Structure 1
Amino acid sequence: MRQSVFAAALSVLIATPALSDTAARIVTVGGALTEIVFALGQEHRLVARDSTSTHPEVVEDLPDVGYARALAAEGVLSVKPDLILATEGAGPPETMDVLRAAGVKMVIISEIYTAEGVADKITAVGTAIEAEEAAQALREKVAQELAQAVALATANPNPPKVLFVLSAASGRIMAAGRDTAADGILQMAGAKNAMTAFPGYKPVTDEAIIQAAPDVVLMMSSRSNHAISDEEVLALPAIALTPAGQQGRIVRLDGALMLQFGPRAAKAVSDLAKLFHGVTEMPEKS
């Protein structure tokens, strides 16, 4: 535990010059980072956030600087930040270079899709914004909640095999492989990822889906009127020939809750375990 805390703090020190003055104007790029700043009671220092930052709802009152991976330097600089907190992968790289060249302090927080990764993310944010004591308390609270949720979820001796579908536009399924947030949360929720032959999110063939034979199809819930419905997913030839398709087992969960690995990670694990309940036997909480 001490080593992981040290590693998180070290990553912050490497990523940015020492923060000699407390940053009064913070921009967060990454929903989990925004949630952590709120959970640390430092939301009054936020002047903007990216479009993946949607929780708590009040954060949507802040200026939106754009999608985390498609930022425009002008939009970020327009809010005159003292500090930018960004998740690993934020960009594009040329935008990040412009922001650094402008002299804005920047901290890049690693994305590690494990319980320890959640805890280290909290520590890293706390160090960056000089709220170490509050971060330690939050780290301990979240770690305890997450450990309890994972212990219950993974007690199932017969975990379901789950196909995480990122999108199914035009009938072409984009699924989650290994080393993804979806893969990480499935493992923590006591399920098996049906697609482990490749890393990242990739289009998969009908043959690969049929061979994987998932028990459940998991998708993100969406407020978009253009989101594909459960009925449309079940009608796809590849899905129709799987146990999930034959039993109509499609479950959905809010994408921000499920994939951001922030302070609500324990809720994501518990909610997924409940959604998978009944597919295979799940233990009851005593």
Structure 2
Amino acid sequence: MVSAGASVTDLLIDLGAETQIVGIDATSQLNNKDVPNIGYHRQLSVEGVLSLSPTLLLGSEEMGPKPVLTKLNNAGVKVVALPSAPTVAALKQRITQVANLTDKQSKAAPLLRAVDGKLTQLKRRAPASTQQGVFLLVHQGRPASIAGTSTTPNTLIELIGATNPAANTVTSYKPLSPEALLGFNPDFILVMQRSLDQLGGLTGLANAVPLLENTQAFQQNKILAIDGSVLVGGLSLKSLDEALRVQSQLIELSQ
């Protein structure tokens, strides 16, 4: 099969089905296995996928373009788009569905228990006083956007035990004005590690996001980097691990 989407590939690994993978997309990583890369999961090509002779293309609802998926299906490749809603319910549904597709049903129950265990940890360690946090999507040369409802970053913020003030007015991602950022004035700000690296660290981030230095998050050193791969294709177990890691950071910074 070809796996298109980091969360899908991670789930295949968690189920012990990585030996069935003959190709991955640019957001995915396979440990100790060198397989061809078919490019970005939203911009697949018919030729790139068919060159690997897969019987199954497995991805999230984010993969495309749709005409390419239709042509692949017509060429005899089974195309399965898993639900990518950033919810725990959708994650559990994906675990069961992928276990059935890969004949790894015996591995599904332990993974579902692992999900519940991580959720219990997150709830138990949630701070007594609720903090406010936002996620900024920042690319070099482009205005920053903020994540609202129906996004994986918003779910991560909630899992940490915090609230996202942008969720009251923003659905999906929306360009962020400096005035809006100051209005939110969050306790902490999440950004992708890759963005920080590309911009040259916090100084570059501050140059790219006007008035960032005036927020309490910046002034209290609560700009936290997260692994961008956990944001692709909905929640994964790795997303929950990242939520636990960020939660630990916030606990340490608040002491």
State TM-score, norm by structure 1. Answer: 0.81
CA distance in 1, matches of 2:70, 2:58: 15
Structure 2: gaps of 5 or more residues: none
In the TM superposition, what is the alpha-carbon distance from 1:72 to its structure 2 partner? Answer: 0.8
Structure 1 contact 118–262 (Cα < 8 Å) conserved:
yes
CA distance in 1, matches of 2:211, 2:18: 46
* 1:250 matched to 2:247: no
Which of 15, 27, 43 lines up with 2:18 in the alignment?
Answer: 43
In the TM superposition, what is the alpha-carbon distance from 1:74 to its structure 2 partner? Answer: 0.7
* 1:238 matched to 2:206: no
* 1:71 matched to 2:44: yes
* 1:184 matched to 2:184: no
Which of 146, 167, 174 lines up with 2:138 in the alignment?
Answer: 167
> For residue 214 of structure 2, what is the amino acid of its counterpart?
L
Structure 2 contact 196–225 (Cα < 8 Å) conserved:
no
* 1:201 matched to 2:173: yes
In the TM superposition, what is the alpha-carbon distance from 1:136 to its structure 2 partner? Answer: 2.6
CA distance in 1, matches of 2:91, 2:76: 29
> For residue 190 of structure 2, what is the amino acid of its counterpart?
L
Structure 1 contact 107–128 (Cα < 8 Å) conserved:
no
> For residue 208 of structure 1, what is the amino acid of its counterpart?
A
Which of 204, 207, 227 lines up with 2:199 in the alignment?
Answer: 227
Which string of whole-angstrom CA distances, capped at 9 and with x for unpartnered residues, describes residues 238-260 of structure 1?
A: 21221112223211121124555
Q: Comparing 230-239 with 35-44, which one deviates more in the overlay?
A: 230-239
Q: How does 1:1-286 map to 2 (within 5 A)?
A: 26-54=1-29, 56-59=30-33, 61-140=34-113, 142-154=114-126, 156-170=127-141, 172-196=143-167, 197-222=169-194, 226-235=198-207, 236-257=209-230, 260-278=234-252, 280=254
Q: How many residues align?
A: 252
Structural RMSD (CA): 2.1
In the TM superposition, what is the alpha-carbon distance from 1:179 to its structure 2 partner? Answer: 0.8
> For residue 64 of structure 1, what is the amino acid of its counterpart?
N
Q: Which has the higher relative contact order, 1 or 2, with Cα contacts under 8 A spaced 6 or more apart?
A: 2
In the TM superposition, what is the alpha-carbon distance from 1:224 to its structure 2 partner? Answer: 8.4
CA distance in 2, matches of 1:109, 1:81: 17
> For residue 164 of structure 2, what is the amino acid of its counterpart?
N
- Distance change >3 Å, CA 223–CA 175, structure 1 → 2: closer
Structure 1 contact 30–50 (Cα < 8 Å) conserved:
yes
Structure 1: gaps of 5 or more residues: 1-25, 282-286
CA distance in 2, matches of 1:199, 1:261: 17
CA distance in 1, matches of 2:145, 2:137: 5
In the TM superposition, what is the alpha-carbon distance from 1:95 to its structure 2 partner? Answer: 1.0
Match of 1:7 in 2: none
Q: Comparing 266-275 with 165-174, which one deviates more in the overlay?
A: 165-174
In the TM superposition, what is the alpha-carbon distance from 1:47 to its structure 2 partner? Answer: 0.5
Structure 2 contact 134–164 (Cα < 8 Å) conserved:
yes
State TM-score, norm by structure 2. Answer: 0.90
CA distance in 1, matches of 2:133, 2:159: 13
> For residue 209 of structure 1, what is the amino acid of its counterpart?
L
CA distance in 2, matches of 1:31, 1:148: 24
Match of 1:20 in 2: none
CA distance in 2, matches of 1:37, 1:171: 34
Q: Percent identity?
A: 25
SS of aligned partner of 1:28: strand
- Distance change >3 Å, CA 167–CA 237, structure 1 → 2: closer
SS of aligned partner of 1:226: helix
Structure 1 contact 87–109 (Cα < 8 Å) conserved:
yes
CA distance in 1, matches of 2:165, 2:140: 20
